[in-house]
Structure 1
Amino acid sequence: MPPPFPAIAAPNAQTFVSMFGDLFEHSPWVAARAWRPEGFPDAVSMIETMMQVVAAATAEEQLSLLRAHPELAGEAALAGALTPESEYEQASAGLDRLEPQEIEAVRRLNAAYRERHGFPFILCVRHYTKRDILSELERRTSRSTEREHHEALAQVACIAVERLEKRLQHIKQHDL
């Protein structure tokens, strides 16, 4: 969870979304629904509220959230079309430095995963090496879609927490 941080407030939903709408990949609706006029006592309360928004979302909204994530080392990465956050995360795991045979393996595994589950493989990659990512992708492809849906949402939450932690560290460094 994010480190302790003073209260977080925004005067309106639009400002809050501009500040935190990118914690969930291409899904500012999460922040919009999480906004409270009274703000949040701390970052933990805020991210927990955002996760509750995701949990309460319809199945279609959750699927849309999952599908908003890029494939790891996929076409968007190769085309340089990732969000800055995704680019940083994938680079931190070495996915921007794959050998040609690794790229082919990831493409093949990504396609098999998406075909089976209907959404991209999602992993909070900063916790994994390139080799571990490939192993996870292969292992999780054979799971049930219901189990993977649940796991993918957990990974989205992990990614959002890490993005928030990075954002708060940046704010602290610039306020010193």
Structure 2
Amino acid sequence: MVDSGKPDLAAINRLDGAGFVVRFGGVFEHAAWVAERAHAHGPFASLDDLHAAMMRAVRAAPTETRIAFLNGHPELAGPEARARSMTADSASEQGSAGLDHMPAADAEAFDRLNAAYRRRFGFPFIIAVRGRARAEILAIFAERLRRTPGEEEQAALDEIALITRMRLDRLVGASG
């Protein structure tokens, strides 16, 4: 452990499977199975190596498992956000982009885009919102609606990679 109370890489590599899942099971939205599968590929030489093992677990999952995984993510500024029933990480991330309080016109735009996106692709729009303004997110949202389903699944997984790497960085000590 480093002084921050966050585990360093050596401490992570000493965790048994159950401890690893307790520590990292929430990194991927409602998908502790990702941590479980990744743990089998340790020990990890770096935080990059750990994250890569987690992303390989997601990408190697059968199509139906990946789609169910994508559907475990909340819509941006959607019903879960309004009901305040998202995970703490998702609520913080969406709040960082001001999606938790916005003008009615923007809320209506998100509702319209969320519905169109789900109809087209069968899962919610996923984007790493930290550091992005609401207008930028809306523009990217509209652009991604023009992609093919295969392109968009890959884009969603790439965004999940960005999101989960930021989450790991918050959980692991500096020497990790």
Same fold (TM over 0.5): yes
Does structure 1 conserve the Cα–Cα contact (< 8 Å) formed by 2:17 and 2:36?
A: yes
| Range moving further from structure 2, 58-67 or 29-38 | 29-38
Residue 59 in 1 paired to residue 50 in 2? no
Q: Which residue number corresponds to residue 72 of structure 2?
A: 68
User: In 2, Cα distance between the equivalents of 1:10 and 1:124?
Assistant: 30
Q: Which aligned pairs between 1:24-173 and structure 2 lie closer than 5 A?
A: 24-36=28-40, 39-168=43-172, 171=173
Shift in alpha-carbon separation, 1:122–1:40, aligned structure 2, 3 A: same
Which secondary structure state, in structure 2, belongs to the residue aligned with residue 82 of structure 1? coil
> Measured at CA, do residues 58 and 134 of structure 1 come closer, stay the same or move farther in structure 2, by a change above 3 Å?
same
Shift of 1:38: 5.2
> Who is 2:24 aligned against?
20
Question: What is the TM-score with the length of structure 1 in the denominator?
Answer: 0.89
Whole-Å separation in 2 of the counterparts to 1:100 and 1:56: 40
Change (3 A) 1:13 1:78: same
Q: Is the 8 A contact 2:25 2:34 kept in 1?
A: yes
Q: Which stretch shows the higher mean deviation, 146-155 or 37-46?
A: 37-46
Q: Number of aligned pairs? A: 166
CA 1:98–1:9: 2 relative to 1, 3 Å: same
- Alpha-carbon distance in structure 2 between the residues aligned to 1:151 and 1:40: 26
- 152-161 or 5-14, which moves further after superposition? 5-14
Q: Deviations over 1:107-147 (max 9, x none)?
A: 00100000000000000111421000111111111211111
- The answer to whether the 8 Å contact 2:93/2:130 transfers is yes
Could you report, residue by residue, the CA deviation over 1:143-166 in whole angstroms, capped at 9, with x for unpaired residues?
Answer: 111110110011111111011112
**Higher relative CO (CA 8 A, sep ≥ 6), structure 1 or 2?**
2
Gaps of at least 5 residues in structure 2 are: 1-7
Distance 1:19 1:83 in 2: 15
Give the aligned CA root-mean-square deviation in angstroms: 1.5
What is the distance in 2 between the residues matched to 1:153 and 1:127?
A: 19
Checking the alignment, whether the CA contact within 8 Å between 2:42 and 2:50 is kept in structure 1 is: no
| Partner deviation per Cα, 1:18-59 (whole Å, 9 max, x = no partner) | 100111100110000111385323211111111111121111
Match of 2:9 among 6, 13, 29: 6
Q: Is the 8 A contact 1:93 1:129 kept in 2?
A: yes
